[in-house]
């Protein structure tokens, strides 16, 4: 999928672990893992809002579009 989720990059910048994010956002570890590995099919605006709130960033910092090479 050409949409990349830079969750690990943001976590590294904020020096936060996935477990801590999971606890603060209220999303299970497995769901965060799906998001991080790019297996997710869709992200709710509500979830994006919570993550941005905790990581103190913009949605654009988390999501990136890369043209697929065909």
Partner 1 sequence: MTNDLKSMKWIKSVLVAGGILILIVTIYQSGSVFKKGWNDADDPIVLRSEFHSVIFDDVITTRADSLNITGKDGYIYKLKADYRVNGDVFNLKDSGQRISFLEGFNFSLTVTILVLGILILGNLYYFIDDSSRGDIFTLKNINRIKIIGYYCISLSVALFIWDLVSFFIAKEIFSHTEYQVSYEFDFNYLMFTVGVVTILIMHVFKKGYELKQEHELTI
The answer to whether residue 13 forms part of the interface with partner 1 (CB under 8 A) is no
The answer to whether residue 62 forms part of the interface with partner 1 (CB under 8 A) is no
Measured CA to CA, the distance from residue 56 to residue 49 in angstroms comes to 10
Measured CA to CA, the distance from residue 15 to residue 9 in angstroms comes to 10
Nearer to partner 1, 43 or 54 (CB): 43
Part of the chain binding partner 1 (CB under 8 A), chosen from 15-23, 43-51, 54-62: 43-51
Nearest to 26 by CA among 6, 47, 42, 8: 47
Residues binding partner 1 (CB under 8 A): 27, 31-32, 34-35, 39-44, 47
């Amino acid at each position: 999928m050409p949409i990349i989720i830079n969750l690990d990059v943001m976590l590294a910048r904020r020096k936060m672990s996935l477990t801590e994010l999971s606890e603060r956002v209220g999303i299970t570890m497995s769901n965060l893992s799906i998001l991080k590995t790019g297996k997710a099919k869709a992200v709710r605006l509500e979830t994006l809002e919570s993550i941005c709130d905790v990581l103190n960033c913009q949605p654009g910092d988390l999501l990136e579009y890369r043209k697929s090479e065909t």
